[in-house]
């Protein structure tokens, strides 16, 4: 497949009138490795964190975008396995069209970081996470039982 268009995701996304920052820096990588996840969506802070060390960056990015969409438009009323399946399918369609998601790299050779992490990220922060195997990693994270609320 010839990649025709690379989409820089470091500028973030707009969803439901909110700007979600996309962080793909060493701090995000460290935090995600500690939880064995490839990405997470912090809906109250409007932040998507991605682990930049894996080839599944595009699929993980789409997964976390779908988590934000589910939170805003569907009141998180969608199963995590459905989000994983939609992300995988959407990624395949976009990839077949030559569209890839990319991270802007700084002059220091590190992924661009849009801003500092929020200061108050406690255990009560709703988190929707993707562990890369389609089963989700919400157990013990955020509110509810496997739901991203």
Whole-number pLDDT of residue 117 = 38
Q: What is the pLDDT of residues 5-16, one digit of tens each?
A: 989 998 899 999
SS3 19: strand
Beta bridge partners of 130: 39
Residue 109 structure tokens? 């050779």
User: How far, in Å, CA of 112 to CA of 57, rounded?
Assistant: 15
First-to-last alpha carbon distance for the chain, in angstroms, is 37
Residue, of 122 and 149, whose pLDDT is higher: 122
Q: How confident is the model at residue 140 (pLDDT cuts 50, 70, 90)?
A: very low
Whole-number pLDDT of residue 110 = 61
Q: In 10 A of CB 18, how many CB atoms?
A: 13
Whole-number pLDDT of residue 143 = 27
User: How far, in Å, CA of 94 to CA of 80, rounded?
Assistant: 21
Q: What is the pLDDT of residues 35-80, one digit of tens each?
A: 889 999 999 999 999 988 777 899 999 999 999 999 999 998 899 9
User: How far, in Å, CA of 94 to CA of 100, rounded?
Assistant: 7
Q: What is the pLDDT of residues 86-111, one digit of tens each?
A: 999 999 999 999 999 988 766 565 65
Whole-number pLDDT of residue 54 = 74
Q: How confident is the model at residue 137 (pLDDT cuts 50, 70, 90)?
A: very low
The pairing of strands 127-130 and 47-50 is: unpaired
**Cβ-proximal residues to 70 (8 Å cutoff; 6+ apart), any chain:** 76, 77, 78, 83, 128, 148
- Going by the DSSP 8-state scheme, the letter that residue 129 receives in this structure is E
Whole-number pLDDT of residue 106 = 61
Q: What is the pLDDT of residues 109-136, one digit of tens each?
A: 565 554 433 433 443 434 455 555 554 4
């Amino acid at each position: 497949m010839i990649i025709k268009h690379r989409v820089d995701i470091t500028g973030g996304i707009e969803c439901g009138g909110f700007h979600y920052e996309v962080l793909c820096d060493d701090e995000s990588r460290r935090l995600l490795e500690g939880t064995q996840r490839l990405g997470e969506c912090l809906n109250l802070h409007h932040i998507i964190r991605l682990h930049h060390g894996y080839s599944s960056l595009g699929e993980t990015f789409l997964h976390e975008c779908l988590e934000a969409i589910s939170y805003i438009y569907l009141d998180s009323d969608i199963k995590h396995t459905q989000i994983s399946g939609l992300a995988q399918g959407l990624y395949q369609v976009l990839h077949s069209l030559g569209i890839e998601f990319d991270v802007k790299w700084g002059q220091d050779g590190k992924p661009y970081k849009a801003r500092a992490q929020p200061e108050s990220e406690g255990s009560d922060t709703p988190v929707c996470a993707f562990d890369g195997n389609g089963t989700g990693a919400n157990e013990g994270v955020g509110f509810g039982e496997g739901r991203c609320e």
